[in-house]
Amino acid sequence: MAVVWKTVVWYFLLWCVVVCTAAAERSKFGGEEAAAEADRVKDLPGEPRGVTFPHYAGYVKLSPHNNHKALFYWFFHAQRNSHKKPLVLWLNGGPGCSSIAYGAAQELGPFLVRANGSLILNKYSWNKAANLLFLEAPVGVGFSYTNRSKDLNELGDRVTAEDSYAFLSGWFKRFPAFKSHDFYIAGESYAGHYVPQLADLIYKRNKGARKENSFINLKGFMIGNAVINDETDVNGIFDYAWSHAIISDQLHQSIMKECNSKKEDNQTVAKCAIHIRDFLEAYADIDIYSIYTPICISSDDNRPSPKPKLHVAPRLFTQHELWHRVPAGYDPCTGDYAVKYFNREDVQRALHANVTKLSYPYSSCSSVIGRWNDSPDTVLPVIRRLLNAGLRIWIYSGDTDGRVPVTSTRYSIKKMGLKVKEEWRAWFEKDQVGGWVEVYEGGLTLATVRGAGHQVPVLAPPQSLSLFTHFLSHNTSLPPSRFSN
């Protein structure tokens, strides 16, 4: 009889373990499902009518150990068949600039902010091709926050990658249906650091991950007008300015002679400083990020609006205060519209943003980050490592950007010593040349976008969407002839 009772008790305990575990899992999933639903954006001020795709916004706390940090996101389902489309994380650069104020609201998101506070549908939004996740990282950028002020003085490339990875781990728990989707990362400018470094971290962590736990289905990344190698970036900036008639032959020759010199004596350094000052003066009245477009003129004093101060740039430039006053603008004032929009209390409520009531106003580029502690001179070794790992990598360049110009990008890729697989050729958007493209062995593609500045989707929306769509499609290359897309 005792044996019978032991058997009954054993089966009861086994049944309890199975049932209780399943209940716990259901409760856990239900909690995450409820959190996702709570993040759903409804009644967003100015939202256009007829929007059929859901979108979500809110915070993800990084971990139990980093409960004082929370990163803000805005997520858009693909416009059609979102369950079949890949998931793409978009990152802007700076460092310290917002992927929401720039990427989502001015460039490639489905809603573009206008002067009157309204939103218009972006006909060329990238969520036509993918599910789009915009992240404000690191803390101190946009609505992302920390409860410890010292965190703002400990930021750099390493912390940004770690925190972004922690965010993704938490985000996938909240949106588990997207865990199995092909995952890509894209970004521009200083995201030339962010994107490869985050991809590298994901790749390394995936090696020890279980599929059902922390594995992220990373397939590749795409970066535009990207800061990737200081030496070639700087040389490309000077050569671009000269080849586009912004600086004189004499100034170009003087810079090449004095500023590339290996001599570090005081006289050489002083001469170089004068030449760099003259170089920056040449850009004082135009937009270095888009050399052929108008700049935004302040209505109060009819002077150009200064661009946000960058935390990281080549030392040759940052030692000059004039570098921080070079004007930048696109449409030409969309940056001002976005900042005004996201500072509205009704907008913040709808987006579940600013829940801690930050002590500073929302800005497109952070004014509270204390310092940037690590920024390697080059990320080319990281890119090469990830190419060898089989990731799909595209680097694109708007060819009217003077800040990270196409010359810089071409010099940087040349430095990698890759063999050409498909020779330089034009690619087409319908009946016009969209840019030029070259494909290298190992999986790297370089594409230019004709007539676009630093923010390619702003000035070349159809070409940017075509570029993005072909990047995601592994079986097609950029169109080689008119009307072939």
CB proximity list for 384: less than 8 A, separation 6 or greater: 416
**Exactly one of 275, 311, 352, 454 is catalytic; which is it?**
454
The answer as to whether 252 is a domain residue is: yes
Residue 253 lies in a domain: yes
Range(s) of the domain holding residue 241:
230-329
Annotated catalytic, 189? Answer: yes
User: Does residue 269 sit within a domain?
Assistant: yes
Find the catalytic residue in 99, 397, 401, 466. Answer: 401
Rounded to whole angstroms, how far apart are CA atoms 128 and 108?
10
Instruction: With respect to residue 265, please indicate whether it lies within any of the assigned structural domains.
Output: yes
Selected catalytic residue, list 82, 144, 164, 189: 189
186, part of any domain: no
90's enclosing H/E stretch is strand 87-91
225/290 Cα distance (integer angstroms) = 11
In a domain, 255, yes or no: yes
Alpha-carbon span 112 to 90, nearest angstrom = 16
Whether 239 is catalytic is no
Domain count for the chain, please give it.
1
Report yes or no on 283 lying in a domain: yes
111-113 vs 420-429, strand pairing mode: unpaired
Q: In terms of DSSP bridges, do strands 218-224 and 119-121 run parallel, antiparallel, or are they unpaired?
A: unpaired
Give the pLDDT of the chain (485 residues) as one tens digit per residue: 444 444 444 444 444 443 344 344 334 445 667 889 999 999 999 999 989 999 999 999 997 666 789 999 999 999 999 999 999 999 998 899 999 999 999 999 999 999 888 999 999 999 999 999 999 999 999 999 999 989 999 999 999 999 999 999 999 999 999 999 999 999 999 999 999 999 999 999 999 776 667 899 999 999 999 999 999 999 999 999 999 999 999 999 999 998 876 667 788 888 999 999 999 999 989 989 999 988 876 544 444 444 444 344 555 555 444 344 443 433 456 678 899 999 999 999 999 999 999 999 999 999 898 789 999 999 999 999 999 999 999 999 999 999 999 999 999 999 999 999 999 999 999 899 999 999 999 889 999 999 999 999 999 999 999 999 999 998 778 999 887 65
CB 399 within 8 A of CB 450: yes
Q: Does any domain span residue 270?
A: yes
| Pick from 225, 222, 215: nearest CA to 190 | 225
Q: Is 359 a catalytic residue?
A: no
List C-alpha distances in Å: 480 to 392, 433, 448, 466, 474: 20, 9, 14, 13, 16
